[in-house]
Structure formats: C-alpha cells, structure tokens
Amino acid sequence: MYQENKIIHRIEKIISMEPQLFLDYDGTLVPIIKNPEINQADYDLLKLISHLDSRFEMYIVTGREVSDIIRFLGEYNIIGLHGSVFHIDGQTINIPEFAPYVELFNQIYQNTVYIQEKFHGLRIYNKTGSILFHMGNIKNQRSRETVHKIINFLAFRYNIELYTGIDIIELRIPHINKGTAIKQIRNLNRPAIIIGDDRTDEDSFIANQDAITIKIGDGDTHARFAIPYERVRPLLWELLKIL
C-alpha cells in the first residue's frame, strides 16, 4: 500500500496537466495464463477501461496483434506488436518496414509449424508481424532446451530479434520496441503514466524516464514504482477518483 500511496500522491501533482495513460495488457490488466488466446477481459475490466478511456487519452501497449485487443477489450487506441502497428482513432497504420517482415514471418511459420507435433505442448502463433513460441505446456526440460536452440538458429539465420519472456520466446522485427513507440505517440508537453509487467515494458520505462512508470510484479526494474498484479485495478480505480 505504501507504493500505491506514493503513486497516487505523484499523480495528484500532475493530473491538471492531463497525463497520457499507457497500459500493457497481459500480466497487467489480465493475468498471465497458459492459453493466451482465451485471455478475455472480464466485465469489471471492461467497465474500468471504458471509464479510463473517457477520462484520459489512453493507449493499450501490447505485444499482441491489434485484432486481439479489439476482440478482448473493444475499440481503443492500441499500439500493437511491440510498436509495429498503431491503431489510433479507429485507423490502423503499420511501420514502413512491416510488409517485408510479414512475408518473412509467414515463411518462417510455414517452415516451423510442423515441430508442434514433435514437441508436445508447444504452440506456435503467427502474429502477422512476429512469431510466438509458447512453451508453457511443455513439461520436458530437454524439449524446452531443444526448442530454444531451434529458435536461436532462426533468429541468427534471418537476422531478426529474439525476445524471451514468461514461458514464451518471440521472433520479432529488429529495433522496434514499446519504448520508442510510446515516444512517437507522446505529447511531450504533457506527463505520461506507463504501466507494464515484463521485459518489453522495461523498454518503455527506459525511453520515458520523465514519466510516472510502474512495474507490475517482482524483479529488478527501471520503473519508478512497483506494485503486485492484484493492486493494478484498485490503483486504476483510484486514478478515476482523482479527476
């Protein structure tokens, strides 16, 4: 509660300057689960997000495809695929180098999808801008290590970025991250509040050190503050009371 009080106190000081709000999805608004394709927002979250969007200039910043967030939450401002796709005011804009990488990832997916049959529990997702290898259901440690070696080889062969997260490894477009994406969107004459839970969100914290940055969960962080997942929604409801 101590950190939450400090966060609220800090936000109270900037609220009149109309801060922009940037929220991660998985691990921040909803828990991390082993079947990410069904990580649907519940009624309480839908209501909360609707209220936040009506009070703030709000963005959902995620590694997911824009279509996932629209399906789970509805039509909001979304920065998708770690900053490769911007869905703003109902219009979707891709970064200039997006199309060639979509072709490359389609090729990689077609050439690797068969290994799901060899490694029980492995799921491979073509996110139309990255390839996600979900290993949460792989029980055999040796299988995990072998899959990791295969993905490392793919990253090296195609000169693409490899990201390792909780039970996932992702091949994605190089030099694109949430931090630079948020910087592009921000109005630097206004403060920002940035909330996220994993390594991809650390890019946001590092690139926006003037913002109120909040890490969700344990571990080292570049964020100013940290709170547990269970306190995220209560904190966001408290934000609405400040206005």
Residues involved in catalysis: 24
- Cα–Cα distance measured from residue 197 to residue 206, given in angstroms and rounded to the nearest whole number: 14
Residue type at 52? L
- Cα–Cα distance measured from residue 72 to residue 56, given in angstroms and rounded to the nearest whole number: 20
| Encoded tokens for 237 | 């409801």
Residue type at 98? F
SS3 125: strand
SS3 186: coil
- The continuous run of DSSP H or E covering 8 comes out as helix 2-14
